[in-house]
Amino acid sequence: MDALGRHILVEFYNCSPELMNDVVHIENSMVEAAETAGATVINSTFHHFSPYGVSGVVVIQESHLAIHTWPEYGYAAVDLFTCGETVDPWVSYDFLQKAFKASHGSSMECRRGQQSLLQRTDFTVEARDTGQQITPIPRITRDVWFTERDENIALSLKHTGDQLYKKQSPYQKVEVFETLAYGNMLTLDGMVMCTQKDEYVYHEMITHVPMLSHGNVKRALVIGGGDGGTVRELLRHEQIEEVVLVEIDELVIEACKLHLPETASAFDHPKLKLLVEDGIKYIQECANESFDLIIVDSADPVGPGEGLFTAEFYGQVYRCLTANGIMITQSESPRFNTKVFVEIYDTYKGIFGQEKVHCYLAAIPTYPTGTWSFSFSSKGNVHPKDVNMDVAAAFSREHNLRYYNEDIHQAAFALPNFVKDLLKK
């Protein structure tokens, strides 16, 4: 060969959009394309971006293969760079065109480091005979990343590259990844819902704050919450007689039973009534004053959860609460979703009254910004700060809770000034 390396610039068109957004498939394909061409793979690093797009590189002993995808266009830009004569990059090209289901591709080959333009210099490295064996080529290391981002901020979690669960329901894409730092992670349409390592923060705070504030909840309704964590925590309270869980997407339940069993541990509890149906329709048909506590455990205000973020819906929730009932919702991050955060609280105050709506916070590392909020809206006279501290402390100890305790209950309602200012607007 009259050059040091061969560099092929590739564009693949009309690829499968789903495959172009599948970081696991792309990483596996790129590694296999390198190996099929005879390359020695050293490591791989790949990121999936939310809502779509994958970037990554496979480092080979002979150089590298790199890619970035635009699923919305069915398009992938690929670099195939090999050095020496032992690896044929065109083998990788053919492999990837089939792997991505591209209708066609365009390419341009550049010869890098043309020998006629180079002059070799004497360059030697001192060798010492230590009697030790030559270090073998290291085993391939794989860095495959899930990234949730918007225009200004991102969260990345490294996972094993093996996707535990992936199905498309009529409502959303349900996936479970095995992350290295946070265990198994449930995502819906590319947004993190919960992980094994930190799910207890969300679920303890969305349940025990209202349960211990009210003190006598007999019937509770959970809308959403198909991962099972909220009902698991509610059913720790012995006085509760029935919990109704209304989840629209049965695949969420299936995925969590299979891969987040600690979170989904209460689905067979005799006090639980599980309904796979639309929570909005359920609330519309619900009898007046049916529940002491209603928890809207929804995802962000997109997809199947979008209808849960309307004044009409919350007005129906108010109707379904008993005279002293409480509504709890997750109310987004005041830093990440500021506009939605403000609108939510304006809506609640218009329904429950200015003085009966309270915001409280928790630290959840895998949610955008790490600062997450919950709303506490009281139909009657229950105030969250009137909790019996001794009862809350005993409950926390008895159940070995990992986040909630009597001090956290009080402190969660101590809001930073910027949050207070948002709530005044």
pLDDT tens sequence for the chain (425 residues): 688 899 999 999 999 999 999 999 999 999 999 999 999 998 999 998 877 899 999 999 899 999 999 999 999 999 999 998 889 999 999 999 999 999 999 999 998 888 778 877 765 655 444 445 545 555 667 788 888 776 667 778 888 887 899 999 999 999 999 999 999 999 998 889 999 999 999 999 999 999 999 999 999 999 999 999 999 999 999 999 999 999 999 999 999 999 999 999 999 999 999 999 999 999 999 999 999 999 999 875 544 445 566 899 999 999 999 999 999 999 999 998 899 999 999 999 999 999 999 999 999 999 988 999 999 999 999 999 999 999 999 999 999 999 999 999 999 999 999 999 999 97
CA 186, CA 228: separation in Å to the nearest integer?
12
86 neighbors 78 (Cβ within 8 angstroms): no
Question: Is 297 considered catalytic here?
Answer: yes
What's the pTM?
A: 0.76
Q: Is 138 annotated as a binding residue?
A: no
Neighbours of 107 (CB within 10 A): 15
The catalytically annotated residue of 68, 269, 383, 399 is 68
Catalytic residue, chosen from 63, 373, 377, 378, is 63
Supply the CATH classification number for the domain 199-424: 3.40.50.150
Q: Where are the domains of the chain?
A: 3-115, 199-424
According to the annotation, is 268 in a ligand binding site? no
Q: How far is CA 344 from CA 111, 292, 316, 377, in A?
A: 59, 21, 15, 12
Burial readout 358-393 (b: 16 or more C-beta within 10 A, e: otherwise)? bbbbbebebbbeebbbbbbbbbeebebeebeeeebe
Q: Which of 124, 60, 134 is nearest to 92 (CA)?
A: 60
330 annotated as ligand-binding: no
Q: Is 297 annotated as a binding residue?
A: yes
Among 22, 189, 292, 297, the one annotated catalytic: 297
Of 50, 55, 83, 373, the catalytic one is 83
**Which pLDDT does position 243 carry in this prediction?**
98
pLDDT confidence of residue 425: 74
Confidence (pLDDT) at 130: 46
Query: Is 390 annotated for ligand binding?
Result: no
- What CATH number is given for 3-115 in this structure? 3.60.90.10
The answer to whether 325 is a known ligand-binding residue is no
> Is 83 a residue of the active site?
yes
Decide if 308 contacts 223 (C-beta within 8 A): yes
Cβ-contact 297, 224 below 8 angstroms: yes
The reply, when asked if residue 300 is annotated as ligand binding, is: yes
- Measured at the CA of 205, the angle between CA 232 and CA 411, to 5 degrees, comes to 155
Clarify whether 68 is annotated catalytic. yes
Q: Is 247 annotated to bind ligand? A: yes
pLDDT of residue 303: 43
**Ligand-binding site membership of 386 (annotated):** no
What pLDDT does residue 56 have? 95
d(CA 204, CA 220): 15
